[in-house]
Structure 1
Amino acid sequence: MFEGFTLDRIQVGDVTLRVRYGGSGPAVVLLHGHPRTHTTWYQVAPELARDYTVVCPDLRGYGQSGKPAADDEHTQYSKAAMAADVAGLMTALGHETYSVVGHDRGALVAFRSAMDHPDRVSKLVVMDGLPVVEHLERCSARFATEWWHWFFFAQTAKPAERVICADPETWYNAWTVNSPDQLGPENHADFLAAIRDPATVHGMVEDYRAGLGIDRRTEEEDRAAGRQIDCPMLMLWSTKDDLEQLYGDPLAIWRPWCPQVIGHGIDSTHHVAEQAPGALVDTLRGFL
């Protein structure tokens, strides 16, 4: 995987991030979702690297990046902390400005990056994601049924980690929908190592605990203050996933946050970087 890329570990604030980077040209950061690592981009990053400097980190808490102890507010796993990681990483790599592409949980980090670091983020791509507050304010019985894991992960009295770590490969469908055939053998091996690590499972769950608390409050404060995304934004969603089915047009939800947002669906299941990499690369090149 990632032929011609450098695999590195870079200290950024209170965490060390595992990161791959390669290519040349304007900088683009690719941020993975749950429960993946940066290797989910293995088919996308080398293609983009023909035209861009591509940077693919493991988010804090995920993969082989740092997993700091969390306070009662889960501040260390807030999207503001993760966006600060991205800014610090790009400074360490010598990039003052960069585009950010985020999928799933990485989409929340990409969104936070554009909100918190508008002088650094030149373009924003969000894939299969909405602001947390928009999800929660639309929380119907269907959302609670299909996205129940958000609320399960958020529990601390009966921690989700105990259930997941009892049989992580079954929990994460490691030999069915997330099999080596679906993910690719090397990407699957990295995914498997991550979900087998109790510290990583804890870090991933902390991400969701922060989401329902400090991240929601931050977004509510942004909205009350009228803050919006300044840079061009592309919103993509997987047509074989349930975002559009739950909410209708995702662009209508994003417009109050970014009036200039554009976007469309991609014929794919949720993990589009693995399932429809060619279509994704073409779309990203057209926007970036």
Structure 2
Amino acid sequence: MIFEGFALERVDVGEAELRVRYGGEGPPVLLLHGHPRTHATWHKVAPLLAERYTVVCPDLRGYGRSSKPPTTDDHAPYSKRAMARDCVALMRALGHERFAVAGHDRGGYVATRIALDHPDAVAALVAMDVVPIGEALARCDAKFAAAWWHWFFFGQTAKPAERIINADPDAWYKATDAHMEPEAWADYQAAIHDPDTVHAMLEDYRAGLGIDRAHDDADRAAGRVVTAPTLLVWAAQDDMHYLYGDPLEIWRTWATDVRDRTIDCGHHIAEEAPHEFADAVIAFLDECGPLDAQPSQPSTL
């Protein structure tokens, strides 16, 4: 059984309804999954952190069994700003005004947007295998386009990718259950075989190529940065170093207090190296001090 002792609920956050697991005791930590995962990706990490923290693991809007709001021409309902609002509303509904947040892959972009838009709410940020979207696209070259071509495939609307993916989701995503317990694997399988979920996940990418980049570029122009202590966690067997050289140097231009930790595993850190990741998070949060310390500046949105 995964998430033993955790509650499973659906929470109305205003613009969406999120499926969420939460459990443990202590200061709150929000964990945000990436594509095409659900909150179940944290099934090994959450119990480790729950020994010291209250751990909250939602399905992001559009993903898993959370609701799928109708989209718009600019894809704003699937922007990281919209997802960030969901997450802040969720944590407040659960009684947490201020919290640490860790996000992997697409969830890393959401976590970063929470820290930028709601600095009063974020006590610490853990960004996993990401640099900000605007930064990634500004640095896009032939090497990036060849390695991450799926960003641009997913982003198409004239010839949408849904038809190809839904024809054979297992062949497309090529995931295995090697690092997942059966319940987590079943949850993942249900997500990728649901056409509505696939469409919503691609809307996330379409927002990434447009409105999300615009939000990042506006922050850059205004000189806004993440003021919460920040930990960059990146997988040594993934392509962060190949694409960006030293990703820590990039993050130093986006955050006032940032450090990094490399873990020798592939992209899905929480599934492949849960103990190493949990240890890194705990050590980082210990360095940060009490998570209920007062923020240095108010929310911008």
Give the TM-score normalised by structure 2. Answer: 0.93
1:140-199 CA distance string (max 9 Å, x none) = 2111111000000000000110110010111011xxxx2222322111110000000000
SS in 2 for 1:181: coil
Structure 2 unaligned blocks of 5 or more: 286-301
Q: Which runs of 4+ in 1 moved over 3 A?
A: none
Aligned to 1:246: 243
User: Are 1:200 and 2:201 counterparts?
Assistant: no
Match of 2:219 among 215, 222, 225: 222
Q: Which amino acid aligns with 2:127?
A: V
1:258 aligns with 2:255: yes
Q: Secondary structure at the match of 1:183?
A: coil
Cα deviation for residue 139 of structure 1 reads 1.1
Distance 2:69 2:268 in 1: 27
CA distance in 2, matches of 1:252, 1:271: 23
1:12-55 Cα offsets, whole Å, 9 max, x none, are 11211000000010000000000000000000001100100000
Equivalence for 2:125: 124
Residue 92 of structure 2 corresponds to 91
Which letter does structure 2 place at the counterpart of 1:211? G
**Which residue in 2 is equivalent to 1:181?**
178
| Partner in structure 2 of residue 168 of structure 1 | 169
Does structure 1 residue 74 correspond to structure 2 residue 75? yes
C-alpha deviation, 1:259, in angstroms: 2.7
State how 1:7-86 maps to structure 2 within 5 Å. Answer: 7-86=8-87
Matches of 2:112 and 2:145 in 1, distance apart?
23
- Give the Cα–Cα distance (whole angstroms) in 1 for the partners of residues 91 and 271 of structure 2: 25
Q: Is the counterpart of residue 213 in structure 1 residue 214 in structure 2? A: no
Aligned positions, number: 284
Which SS does the other structure have where 2:188 is aligned?
helix
Q: How far apart, in 2, do the equivalents of 1:110 and 1:88 lie?
A: 14
Paired residue secondary structure (1:73): coil
Q: Take 2:64 and 2:87, find their aligned partners in 1: how far apart are those partners?
A: 15
Could you say which residue in structure 2 is the equivalent of 1:237?
Answer: 234
State how far apart, in whole Å, the 2-side matches of 1:217 and 1:283 are.
Answer: 32
Aligned partners of 1:183 and 1:26: how far apart in 2? 27
Mapping for residues 268-283 of structure 1, pairs under 5 Å: 268-283=265-280
Amino acid at match of 2:142: A
Residue type of the partner of 1:115?
A: L
Letter in 2 for 1:90: M
Give the RMSD, CA atoms, in angstroms.
Answer: 0.7
Q: What SS is found at the alignment partner of 2:280?
A: helix
Write the distance in 1 (CA, Å) between the matches of 2:236 and 2:178. 21
Instruction: Provide the TM-score with structure 1 as the length reference.
Output: 0.97
Check whether the contact 2:229–2:256 (CA below 8 A) recurs between aligned residues: no
In structure 1, runs of 5+ residues without a counterpart are none
Q: State the distance in 1 between where 2:99 and 2:5 align.
A: 20
Distance 1:44 1:12 in 2: 25
- Aligned 8 A contact 2:228 2:256 in 1: no
Deviation of 1:265 (Å) = 1.1
